Structure formats: structure tokens, C-alpha cells
Amino acid sequence: MSRASKPSRDWLAVVAGSLLGVLLLLHIRRYAGINHDAVLYMGQGLLHRWPEIYSADPFFSHGSQEKFSLFPRLLALAFGVAPPPLVFLLGTLGSLLLFGAASWCCLRAMMPAGQRFWSWLAVLTLPSSYGFAGMFAYGEQFFTPRTLAEALCLLAIGLLSLRRWVIGFGMLAVATVLHPLQTIAASIIIWMWLIQRDRRWLHALWVLLPVGVLAALGVAPFGGLFVRMDPPWMESLHRFTAQLFVGRWRASEYVLLAFDLCVLLYGWRSLRGTLGQWCLAALAGGVAGIASSYVLVDVLHLALPAGLQLWRVHWLLHWLAMATIGAFLWRDVMARDFPRALLLCLIVVFAAGGFGLGWCAGMALYLGWSLLQSRSSEAFLRLLGGLFVLGILVVFGNFVLSEWVFFRMAHYRLDLYAIDRRVLAFPMFALALAATMAVYWSKLPPRTRIIVICIVLFPLLTVGLLRWDSRPPINRTIEQAAFQSGIFGTPLPSDAQIYWDDDSLIGPWLVLKRASYFSPGHLAGLVFNRETAVDTNNRLGRVMPIIEEGLRCRDRSLPLEAREHCHISDGALRRACTATSERRPDYLVLHYDQPQHAVGEWTIADPVTGEAAVTYKLFRCTDLLAELPPKPEEGQH
């Protein structure tokens, strides 16, 4: 009977653990739509699908990074089967599930049973942001090749840990053709691990010799290795893409990096086996990658290293640090040292919550816990545990109150502000819930476990699927209007360039299926081509008055009546549309109550209230110039 029941219990544990991991992914990493860098990759796919339209867009006209990745070509093929919004929704879901599965496979290869599950929960639930201003995170909730490459790199690490060399390096090769930057960053840490095993891997440095020869001969893309970016180019990068420069990171980014390094250092010293080796590799690789980025880009201003963005090594460094925290938590709970486990939770809350170096005191106490434990009574340790709980609750309460303000501003609508997701994403909250379930799972009889799966996990998974698409109603409506170039009621020439005043590339690229004249999203390509920097700066100067006046019109400090009647001035419209030797936009899309005549309108209604949420108006530049009063001197300011 016992032999028959053990496979049943193992099978139930696998099902429950898998469901728990998936529902955590769905609840915490809800779909954000086609935004952030997903917009740029969508544009690259559109370029390969319709080059006659999008090749004139300033993001592509001077060359971009899309030629280094297979992903845009795969997107172009997918767009021939399904519309981009569906491709990106399903692609995001698939890449997240692949990332979760790859994380488990990687941890399973390097950690013992029990501990690996807690580390997996930590990777899925703890904050995943790294680098500058929280712009990047592993396991993103939108569709880019970054998440796919990260999953493949993690599979490679797991396979290499198991000495499966051929298939492991094969995974790295596939990851490289999808997103070379993430893979190169991960390869630095992998190389450091290989050196630990065999010093002969240092001979890999010989590859720098032919790279240097190719760079000296000017062979693309290696030619940029010795090319210094000139002051105007550097000024544009400093102004618009500060994340490329390690020296321009803010104090909070350095605090997070220091926290990750501290966790990995302690992990290397206290955890044995494969995980400890990877902690050391991440320490060495992280310092090497970030220091190299600082020297080559911040100091020497070299073009190719700026594009390589070696500071991205932080993604794998941070992933390993979060996994190590899960291992620490499992160790403390299994030892029934609950005050120390609570201290670790408080440290993570402080480090992730922007409390500066406040986590350092807690970390020092955590490292010296054995000494404190030997010299303190059990009552004193319990008192400390209560204080740690109180500290976590105070931070959590403040967090909930601040989130409730935004929820109230969204009229208590979960479709406009997913406060449940925000609360669940609070550092350690979801992990504590999941870990508690894991602890009590082993105490449940098989029949009760089946009941838990049926009435708890499956319903929560269903809710997660139903609530996973967290796009605001307006964003969802805009994406669903894909390739409706006549949505404004007027035909648009195929070579038209549209300026859409809402920081939007979705509007011109996806809805109107036309090239965008300028958007802040274009600035992401400055590092890959100097001509892109020159062109976008010229275009920015032309539309800057519209951007500034639009920001003023959307300023919430203005009275409601003033915002409703706010519009773009004649001078700003004239500056944007006046014909000069430089390219001007053909159309403007604005959402203000303009006195000028619009050639078309598109109104998006709130699906709940039925009232108009926003009305976009299309203006033809030639018509605007004919209608505006003649004040040529305004165009010279």
C-alpha cells in the first residue's frame, strides 16, 4: 500500500507545484499589451513584411539592430497568419511559460530537491527589475526575444551543469540568433563557470585576436570596436538613452546591484555544490561585464561596446541572486529558525522597496545570526521575530495605502488599475503565500491534496487566465484596430509619415500601417547608428513645441475646464508643418479641441460607461498651413 501511495503523492506534488508556478506567473506578470520594446520589435516585423512602407521610417531608414536577430523575420511570418495583437498576446503567454519551465529545469540541475522548489518560487515572485530605472526585467510580460533568449540561456546553464555540452552550447547558439545582447551577457557568466572547472577555457580569449583584426579592417559589425562616438552623438545618447552608461545610473540602481552581489557572495561562501559555483561565476562575470561597460563606453566612448551593452550581465546576476534568496529561506525554515527567515524577508522588502542602504544593517545581522543565536535566549529571538514581522507589516501597509490612492483615481475599476496584481507583487508577499502552502502540503493526506488542487489551484488558475490580459480599455481598442488605415475616414498615401502626439508608435505603425514621423520610441535606435541620431534630433526639434504644449495640456494641476479647452498653438503647428530642406510630417494626429479643421476623427468609447474616452483628430499639414494665419516670424523662433 505504501509503495502504491508514494507515486500518487509524487504525482500530486508535481501537478500542484506546476499549477502553483503557472498561476503565480499569470497573476504577477499580467499581459501589458504591445508596449515598451515590444513596439519596436513589432515595427521590425512590419518592416520585413512591408519594407516598401516602413523602410522610410526614421527608426529603420538608416539601419537598425534588427539585422542581428532572427526574431523580426519570424514575426513577419507570423503576421501573415494572424494579426499582430494576437501574435503578441499568444507570444507573451508562450514565452512566459517557457521562461518558467526553463527556470525550473535550470534550478533542478544545480540544486537539491526541496530547496530547488523554493528557489523557483523566488525567481517567479520576487522583483525581477534590473539595470537603469527599472526599465528592464527578466521574464517580461510583453513579447520580445529577450524572454525567449533568457529561457534558452537558463536551459543551457542547466544542461551545462549536467555536463550535456553539445545540446547546452546549442541552446546558447539559438539564443544568440534571437537576442545576441542578452546571450552575450549570460555567456560572460557561463564562461566564468567554465573557467572554474577547467582553466583551459581561458584560451577562449584568443578569439579577441581575429575580432581585433576584423575591427581594424572595418568589417561590420566589428568596425565599431575602435570607433569613438563624437560629442554630438554622445550628447544625444546621454540625453535620451542614459541606461547605456553605467556611470549615469542612479543610487537606487547601485543599491540593487550591491544587494545582488552581497547575496551571491554569501551564497558562494555558505552554499555548496553547483549553485555555489554559479554564485561565484555570477560575481566574477557581473563585475567584469559592468566594469568593462563603464571603461569602454563611459570612459572611452567606443561605439560597438555601447551597442553590446555588457551591463546586461545584471539580468542573470539578479536571477541567480533571487534564486539564492529562495535557497536561504528554505534552509532557515527547514531548520525551524523562523526569526532568521523573517529577517531575510525584511531585508528583501527593504532592498526592493527603495530604502537605500537600510538593508545593510539587516544583512549584517543575518550574517552574524549564528553568533547572536548562541548568545541570546529563545524569548529574545522570538521578540526579534515579532519586530521583523512588524517592520514588514508597516512597509506593506504603507504600500497598500499608496496603491489604494491610484485605485481610487481609477474609480475602483480593476480594468483600469489592477490593485490585486500590485499587492500580490509586493516583495515576499506572493512568495510567503506559496512557501506556506508548500510547507503544509507535506502534512496533507492524498485525498485532501486532490481537493486542494480541484477547489483552490484550478479555480485560481482560471481566474489568472481570465484576468491575465491587463491592457487598459483604450489600449486594447487601439491594438484591435490593427491595419485600419482608413479609420479616420480619409485615405492615406502609402508613403505618408504621421506624427501621432501621444508618444505612440502603435498608432502610425499598427493602426494606420504607415511610417511614423517621430516618436520617443525612435530614440532607442540612437546607439546603433549615428545618422539615426542626427535625423531624429532634427525631427525632434520640429515637433518639440507640440510635445511641450501637449504635456502642459495633460498636466493634472490645470483646472479641468482649462484642460478641456487646451490646444496646440498656431506657432507649434506651423513649425511642425512648414516645408524646409528637412523632411516634414504629412499628417498630425492630435487629441485636443483644435480650432483648425480636421480631415478625420476617431472616437474611442469607454466600454463600461459608453462615453467617449478619447477622440483622435487627423490633420493634413498642407491644409493646416493654408488655414493658419500668416505669421512667418513664429516659425523662426
Can you read off the three cell numbers belonging to residue 200?
583551459
Three-state secondary structure call for residue 469: strand
CA–CA dist 452, 537 (Å, integer)? 59
88-97, 210-219, 268-277, 600-609 — most confident range: 88-97
Same domain for 287 and 398, yes or no, is: yes
Read off the amino acid at residue 67: K
CB 461 within 8 A of CB 27: no
pLDDT above 90 for 286: yes
Residues 215 and 105 in one domain: yes
| Residue 213 CA to its chain's centroid (Å) | 36
Given 449, 464, 491, the domain boundary residue is 449
Alpha carbons 140 and 628: distance in angstroms, whole number: 46
Domain that holds residue 620: 475-636
Q: In whole angstroms, what separates CA 72 from the centre of its chain?
A: 18
**pLDDT(4) > 90:** no
DSSP, collapsed to helix, strand or coil, labels residue 127 as coil
| 444 and 479 part of one domain | no
Does the global pTM surpass 0.95?
no
From residue 295, alpha-carbon distances to 208, 288, 546 in Å are: 17, 11, 38
Which tens digits make up the pLDDT trace of 415-426? 788 898 889 889
Per-residue confidence (pLDDT) for residue 637, from 0 to 100: 41
Q: Residue 345: its pLDDT value, please?
A: 95
Among 408, 432, 449, give the residue marking a domain's end: 449
H runs (alpha helix) in 126-273: 145-161, 165-178, 180-197, 208-216, 231-240, 251-270
Write out pLDDT tens, residues 150-182. 999 999 999 999 999 999 999 999 999 999 999
Answer yes or no: is 29 within a domain. no
Measured at the CA of 119, the angle between CA 114 and CA 124, to 5 degrees, comes to: 130
Q: Is residue 183 domain-shared with residue 261, that is, in the same domain?
A: yes
CA dist list (Å): 87 to 31, 42, 172, 464, 483: 13, 10, 25, 20, 14
* Residue with the three cell numbers 506534488: 13
Same domain, 441 and 503: no
Strand partners, 614: 604
pLDDT at residue 2 greater than cutoff 50: no
Measured between alpha carbons, how far is 300 from 289 in angstroms, rounded to an integer? Answer: 15
| Region 441-460 average pLDDT | 91
List the beta bridge partners of residue 588: 499, 619
Helical H segments across 375-413, by residue range:
378-409
Q: Which residue has the cell 544542461?
A: 159
| In the block, residue with C-alpha cell 534571437 | 178
- Decide: helix, strand or coil at residue 587: strand
Distance, in Å, from the CA atom of 289 to the CA atom of 272, rounded to the nearest integer, reads 25
What one-character DSSP code corresponds to residue 510? I
* Residues near 466 by beta carbon (within 8 Å), at least 6 away in sequence: none
Cβ burial of 125 (10 Å; 0-12, 13-18, 19+) is: buried
Q: What is the mean pLDDT of residues 561-585?
A: 90
d(CA 132, CA 42) in angstroms, rounded, equals 23
User: Does a structural domain hold residue 52?
Assistant: no
The percent of residues in the chain predicted with pLDDT above 70, rounded, is: 97
- My answer on whether 411 and 295 are in the same domain is yes
Q: Is 562 strand, coil or helix? A: helix
pLDDT, one tens digit per residue, over 589-634 is 999 989 999 999 999 987 777 788 899 999 999 999 999 887 655 4
Cβ pair 127, 436 in contact under 8 A: no
- Residue carrying C-alpha cell 572554474: 196
> Measured between alpha carbons, how far is 402 from 413 in angstroms, rounded to an integer?
16
Q: How far apart are CA 412 and CA 144, in angstroms?
A: 31
The pLDDT confidence band at residue 1, using thresholds 50, 70 and 90, is very low
Does residue 269 sit within a domain?
Answer: yes
- Does residue 17 sit within a domain? no
Give me 418's grid cell.
Answer: 489592477
**Beta-carbon-side half-sphere exposure of residue 395 (alpha carbons within 13 Å):** 21
Distance (Å) of CA 49 to CA 126, 176, 381, 507, 562 = 38, 23, 64, 18, 44
Smallest CA-to-CA distance from 587 within 565, 603, 604, 602 is with 602
350 inside domain: yes
Burial 345-377 (b: 16+ CB within 10 A, else e): bbbbbbbbbeeeeebbebbebbeebeeeeeeee
pLDDT over 70 at 9, yes or no: no
Q: Judge whether residue 7 has pLDDT over 60.
A: no
What local confidence, expressed as pLDDT, does residue 29 receive?
94
The whole-number average pLDDT for the span 220-245 is 89
The pLDDT value recorded for residue 6 is 47
The cell numbers describing 317, all together, are 546576476
Pick from 169, 94, 128: which is nearest to 260 by CA? 128
Q: In whole numbers, what is the pLDDT of the chain averaged over residues?
A: 91
Q: Could you give the CA distance from residue 440 to residue 20 in angstroms, rounded to a whole number?
A: 14
Per-residue exposure over 561-575, b if at least 16 CB sit within 10 Å of its own CB, e if not: eebeebbbebbbbbb
Residue 265 shares a structural domain with residue 217: yes
Spatial neighbors of 230 by CB under 8 A, at least 6 apart, are 530
Q: Give the mean pLDDT of 339-346.
A: 95
Number of domains in the chain: 2
Instruction: Place 224 in a pLDDT band, splitting at 50, 70 and 90.
Output: confident
For the segment 526-570, what is each residue's pLDDT rounded down to a tens digit?
A: 888 888 888 888 999 999 999 999 989 888 788 877 877 899 999
77 inside domain: no
Residues 151, 155: Cα–Cα separation, whole Å: 6
Query: d(Cα 448, Cα 3) in Å, to the nearest integer?
Result: 19
Rounded Cα distance between 389 and 394, Å, is 9
Are residues 103 and 220 part of one domain? yes
Compute the half-sphere exposure of residue 311: CA atoms within 13 Å on the CB side of its CA: 25
Q: Respond yes or no on whether the N-terminal peptide bond of residue 221 is cis (omega within 30° of 0).
A: yes
pLDDT of residue 509: 97
Backbone Cα Rg of the chain: 27
pLDDT recorded at residue 631: 67
Residues 151 and 283 in one domain: yes
Residue 493 lies in a domain: yes
Shared domain check, 319 and 378: yes
Beta bridge partners of 516: 498
Looking at the fold, whether 412 and 485 belong to one and the same domain comes out as no
Averaged over 348-369, what is the pLDDT?
Answer: 88
Shared domain for 114 and 219, answered yes or no, is yes
**Closest listed residue to residue 583, CA positions, set 511, 514, 498, 509:** 498
Beta strands in 99-147 (DSSP E): 129-130, 136-137
| pLDDT per position as a tens digit, 463-476 | 999 999 999 888 99
State the Cα–Cα distance between residues 357 and 350, nearest whole angstrom.
Answer: 8
* Contact (Cβ atoms closer than 8 angstroms) between residue 24 and residue 434: yes
Q: Which of 69-73, 278-282, 355-359, 446-450 comes out lowest in average pLDDT?
A: 355-359
How far is residue 304's CA from residue 225's CA, in Å, rounded to a whole number?
A: 5
Cell representation of residue 267? 551564497
Is 62 a domain residue? Answer: no
* Dihedral angle, C-alpha 153, 154, 156, 160, nearest 10 °: 140
Phi and psi angles of residue 262, each rounded to the nearest 5 degrees, phi first: -65, -45
Task: Please state, in angstroms and as integers, the Cα–Cα distance from residue 86 to each residue in 35, 447, 508, following that order.
Answer: 14, 40, 18
